[in-house]
Structure 1
Amino acid sequence: MAPAIAPARHLSPGQSMNTTQQLKPAENVAPPPPGPGELIERVIAARGFAGVMLLGPRAWRRWWHALVRSIDHAAILAQVDEDASFSFNFNFMIVVAGGIATIGLLLNSPAVIIGAMLISPLMGPIVATGMALATLDVDLGRKSAKTLLLGTAAAIAFTSLIVFLSPVKDLTPELLARTRPNLFDLVVAILSGTAGGYAMIRGRGGAIVGVAIATALMPPLGTIGYGLVTQQWDITRGALLLFVTNMVAISLAVAAVAEWYGFGRGELRKRFARQAVISLLVLAPLAVPLFYSLKAIAFESFAQVRIRSVLERGANSLPEGQLGEVSVLFIDGKPPRVRAVMYSAAPEHELPARLTAAMEAEVGQAIDLRLTQLRTSDELPPQLRVREVAPVPAPAPVPETTLADSLRDAFPLPLAAFEADIERRTAILVPAPQPGIDIASWRDMEHDLSARHTDWTLSILPPMQTLPTVRFGRASAAIEAGEQDRIDAIVWALKRWNIERVQVIGHASSDGGGSLRLANARANRVAEAIRAQGLGAETLGRYPLPSQLAGERELGQIAFRAVSIVIPTPDNTGSGVR
């Protein structure tokens, strides 16, 4: 029995020894070479994004999978859900931001508007809306939509209250900039949404990106409140279109970024295809009016350059020609309205018709041109010809430098004509046209010259020019002290030009108090002030003017709270020589 058991005892150690001998060589064997997938992972880790781009589509896909795996989707969704909640803090901040933005719009202050963007809380619910689209989370979408709706309503209500209480309600350039959205605004919103989604997911620069999103949303809300209070519905519609466009575009851009980082459901291609369809269905209806608006803006820019070029060529064709003030106003459904002033030694009566034809050929549509030509030569037009001085006996010889010569030499500006009666001690000075000197300044020169030469009766005949308008306060027909002085200067100039009758045209702005009755009342007040000084005046009230709102956008509402004083012309067309 013993010999049978002994080999078994020796066999087990032998087998164990053989096993040990078989395992020892395995410890010295080199590991197998890495497979293609593992090699790509190493390259991605070593080279980063730039290196991956050189490896082809297979490496790109592995890089994207690695990127998605690095995102903590659950934590981000929890943060987004929290930011989408409507709370007292959110409501307080959006109301305060809307109020600051509205004050900045009314004051035309970009710095104040930027301050509103810094505290706006709109990034949270906007990003949540995009996340809801990407993940098809109905509850999150409903929650974020509710927050946006309530917050927007609260902001518009508060901005409307500020506009209602504000004594300043002029249509400023900052307000106008939010009433005419175009495709560029859509592009800005998409880029802002892309940056917002990236900042939320990657946690980089969220506060700064939030300002970019607020830039596209807060000022339109203030403009909507302004339009509602002033009952300017075109402004309200334009600002509302801009707000809706920006909100939708930002949400869709956030959804696209969320899809990229793996928040969507299903395979990547299917998710992007679904996102593309949703974006097309939503953005296409918005892009149509934005495209036409951009097209109109591009045409206006092109037309202004062409119109001014034609006017400059026309001025250069005249002797000593110079182009003065130019105004180009584009009104929907109407030909562009062009108002221009030209100075020349010999005005040309056919010039307006010739320039109109040239502009229409350049622009490709009808042009409404009113050209005012002012004479700069020594030969005076009939209105400026003074009464001839009665002949007097020849005076005794006097030195070459007489008192009359000293008067002429003392005048600080060039004279187109000078006439003196030494016997009667009267002198008439006709200055050459001087850009930038208005009627009131010429009158002040006459008063100053008369005060220094009290023994002479001096008169200055100012160069013919467009009469200034008389301004009024909002919804008021009262003539203020400064405007009464303007009327006095106008009457002074009319008497120097031997003009006995004028037409007084009253206007009113479209904001609160604007009416035909107010326009007539303003015209009557100015006409009474003119008649009180011995001149005739006919009155006419005009309100509203054709497409007046477009004019207010271009010139401001204050330009329509005014009365125009027009000198009748023989042809009564307004396009001849004055």
Structure 2
Amino acid sequence: MSIALLKPDNPLVAWWRTRVIATVDHVDVVEKVREDAGFTGRYAFMTLMSAGIAVLGLLLSSPAVVIGAMLISPLMGPIIGLGFGLATFDWDEIRTAAIAVALGFLIAILFTALLVLVSPIQNVTAEIAARTRPNLFDLLVALFSALAGAYAMIRGRAGTVVGVAIATALMPPIAVVGFGLATWNWTVFAGSLLLFLTNLITIAVAAAVVARLYGFGSHLSPQHTMLQTIVVTVALAAFAIPLGLVLVQLGWEANTSRQIRDVISGEFAGAARLSQVEIDYESDPVRVTATVLTPRVQDDVERRAAGVLAQLVGRPVAVELEQIRVGTGAQAEAAQVAAAQASSASAANRLAARAQEQLALIAGVKPEAVLLDRDNRRAVVNAAPLPGANLAAYRALETRVAAGVQGWTVTLVPPVAALPDIAVEEDQPNPDALATAIWAAQRIKLPLGVSGNGAQTVVDALTEAGVDARVTGNGNGTARLRWLAPEEAN
């Protein structure tokens, strides 16, 4: 567009000013925006209720419940207020709206994290996973939501439906941030936080652009307008470029998945069919694991399929096929049983991989440092020292991982950290501190020395749990525990 088109005497600009901008009650709109942009008791309450419903819907993987959260979300007001503040360079409005957004975000993630902590369900559902890998389409959703919200506010048509459009882009990611925080899943936390920030900035910037188009900020100088243009361009480009690259990657994965299925199916003639296909795009080479039900088992099919796929996708591909022979009658029944067993084995492998990944993450080590016993379903790892973590924290981390990989025995060996003091009242040691000491001693396998008030009572409790412990001194106060070298215990 040339500069001449934007001159005041241009017929199109003149028409827009007289037929569109002139019909907007700017004073009334500004008052309405300011009224809805601040942090109030109603805003805080509705944010908490919306966040609570959203996280429950995500845990249940129920889109209907998530939509219910959007219906009551109050996020539209301060976000649109932030956009109008940017459009008019109203720093008081920007500060008020930014505080409301920040406080709303903070109380929402803390509330959702609390709900997840007390929830027996802490699995990454499909609804949660969908909001951990933002792409360009997510940015476009936020952009269109902002355009609808700002237009509705300016034309006096703001309401629940438009508020839902804004909440679509913001409330579910906030709930997923809380989930990631509660479960210490930093992949989920970082992905959903990036999605939230992307949507927040896109909505605010788009609202600012619409506000300028409708004559808000007309008192600004050309220098101010140029600054706004630069900010808008940089902000959108900063997110659009990396998210566009992610979208390209997702498109490549979808196309590659189709090609893999087509190539493997093409290697088998007749009634053969794929039972399941698993693809690991992160590995090098790309790893493909599939189960094929076929009337005739074929030789060398994996090598041929890998060669064809490597040429098609442009990356090395490793193919692992399990061929299950399918016939009629008893053979068909046996094939179905075998397929079910293969599916069960695949599920077990995924569970093992999850245990390995989560243990490595919380222990601060590489995945290969986690020892897996797949036959007995046991996972063991020696944790690296984590800043600020005590033995109780390591114990809680082990419990959390074990809850997510049911059927597995998870053992997290903590570093030799300070043992908790144990208060003894009426000859009864504090149960939580005692349990932490027993847990640590069973994993580190060093004897314990106990001194202080009730030392013998604590030693008796530790010995009953199978821990090597002895009294090393008496005194007042709580019982104090320390690690002993093996020779000290003799």
1:199 paired with 2:152, answer yes
Q: Cα–Cα, structure 1 residues 315 and 58, in superposed 2: closer, same or farther, change >3 Å?
A: same
Shift of 1:278: 1.1
1:133 paired residue number: 86
Please tell me whether the aligned partners of residues 356 and 370 of structure 2 are also in contact (alpha carbons under 8 angstroms).
Answer: no
2:163 paired residue number: 210
Q: Cα–Cα, structure 1 residues 511 and 344, in superposed 2: closer, same or farther, change >3 Å?
A: closer
Q: Map 1:454-469; keep pairs closer than 5 Å.
A: 466=342, 468-469=344-345
Correspondent of 2:292 among 342, 345, 348: 342
Correspondent of 2:317 among 367, 375, 379: 367
Task: Give ranges in structure 2 of 5+ residues lacking alignment.
Answer: 1-8, 383-401, 409-490
CA displacement 1:290-328 (0-9 Å, x = unmatched): 122101100011101111110111012xxx550232323
Letter in 1 for 2:311: A
Shift of 1:273: 4.4
Letter in 1 for 2:153: M
The structure whose Rg is larger is 1
Q: Counterpart of 2:344 in 1: which secondary structure?
A: coil
2:261 paired residue number: 308
1: distance between equivalents of 2:110 and 2:95? 22
Please tell me whether the aligned partners of residues 343 and 375 of structure 1 are also in contact (alpha carbons under 8 angstroms).
Answer: yes
Q: Counterpart of 2:120 in 1: which secondary structure?
A: coil
2:482 paired residue number: none
1:117 paired with 2:70, answer yes
**What is the aligned residue count?**
374
CA displacement 1:92-127 (0-9 Å, x = unmatched): 110110010000000000111011001110000000
2: distance between equivalents of 1:511 and 1:124? 39
2: distance between equivalents of 1:70 and 1:471? 62
Shift of 1:508: 2.3
Letter in 2 for 1:328: E
2:239 paired residue number: 286
Correspondent of 2:110 among 142, 146, 157: 157
2: distance between equivalents of 1:75 and 1:506? 58
1: distance between equivalents of 2:258 and 2:373? 39
CA displacement 1:488-509 (0-9 Å, x = unmatched): xxxxxxxxxxxxxxxxx89727
CA displacement 1:400-448 (0-9 Å, x = unmatched): xxxxxxxxxxxxxx44xxxxxxxxxxxxxxx212488326xxxxxxxxx
2: distance between equivalents of 1:559 and 1:301? 28
Please tell me whether the aligned partners of residues 506 and 541 of structure 1 are also in contact (alpha carbons under 8 angstroms).
Answer: no
State the superposition RMSD in angstroms: 3.3
Shift of 1:559: 9.8
2:478 paired residue number: none
Q: Cα–Cα, structure 1 residues 97 and 198, in superposed 2: closer, same or farther, change >3 Å?
A: same
Shift of 1:137: 0.4
TM (norm. structure 2) is: 0.69
2: distance between equivalents of 1:507 and 1:176? 14
Please tell me whether the aligned partners of residues 290 and 322 of structure 2 are also in contact (alpha carbons under 8 angstroms).
Answer: yes
Please tell me whether the aligned partners of residues 323 and 343 of structure 1 are also in contact (alpha carbons under 8 angstroms).
Answer: yes
1:432 paired with 2:279, answer no
2: distance between equivalents of 1:264 and 1:196? 18
Q: Map 1:483-562; keep pairs closer than 5 Å.
A: 508=355, 510=357, 523-524=375-376, 561=406
Q: Counterpart of 1:329 in 2: which secondary structure?
A: strand
Shift of 1:60: 5.0
Please tell me whether the aligned partners of residues 231 and 511 of structure 1 are also in contact (alpha carbons under 8 angstroms).
Answer: no
2:422 paired residue number: none
CA displacement 1:529-572 (0-9 Å, x = unmatched): xxxxxxxxxxx85989xxxxxxxxxxxx9996567xxxxxxxxx
TM (norm. structure 1) is: 0.59
Q: Counterpart of 1:262 in 2: which secondary structure?
A: coil
2:249 paired residue number: 296
Please tell me whether the aligned partners of residues 180 and 239 of structure 1 are also in contact (alpha carbons under 8 angstroms).
Answer: yes
Shift of 1:464: 10
Shift of 1:166: 0.4
Greater CA deviation, 258-267 or 114-123? 258-267
Shift of 1:367: 1.1
Q: Cα–Cα, structure 1 residues 326 and 560, in superposed 2: closer, same or farther, change >3 Å?
A: farther
Shift of 1:274: 4.0
2: distance between equivalents of 1:471 and 1:351? 24
Please tell me whether the aligned partners of residues 370 and 380 of structure 2 are also in contact (alpha carbons under 8 angstroms).
Answer: no
Q: Map 1:30-429; keep pairs closer than 5 Å.
A: 58=11, 61-266=14-219, 273-316=226-269, 320=270, 322-332=272-282, 334-376=284-326, 414-415=328-329
